[in-house]
């Protein structure tokens, strides 16, 4: 039947696709792996936004803990 591919032909179509994405950074034509964790992604963020969230989140926790321990005597 025309248009049907066997397993070997399908495998050849994807040959090098993972390398294209991972090594060469070609996420448009490369194959990017995503596991079960991908279901937990709720929004798309830049690296800057993720790092700011981590930084300011950690700063808030540190300030809260410092205030909690401010009255403790040595």
Residues of the chain with pLDDT under 50: none
Cα–Cα distance measured from residue 28 to residue 13, given in angstroms and rounded to the nearest whole number: 15
The domain spans of the chain are 1-36, 44-74
Predicted local distance difference test score (pLDDT) of residue 46: 96
**The pLDDT of residue 72:** 85
CA distances from 61 to 10, 27, 42 (A): 51, 36, 23
Contact (Cβ atoms closer than 8 angstroms) between residue 47 and residue 55: no
Predicted model pTM? 0.47
d(Cα 49, Cα 40) in Å, to the nearest integer?
17
Q: Are 14 and 31 in contact (CB under 8 A)?
A: yes
- What confidence score (pLDDT) does residue 5 get? 75
């Amino acid at each position: 039947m025309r248009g049907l591919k066997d397993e070997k032909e399908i495998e050849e179509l994807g040959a090098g696709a993972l390398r294209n994405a991972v090594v060469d950074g070609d996420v448009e034509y490369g194959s990017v792996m995503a596991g079960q964790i991908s279901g937990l992604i709720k929004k798309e963020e830049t690296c800057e936004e993720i790092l700011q969230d981590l930084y300011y989140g950690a700063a808030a926790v540190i300030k809260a803990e410092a205030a909690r321990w401010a009255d403790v005597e040595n």
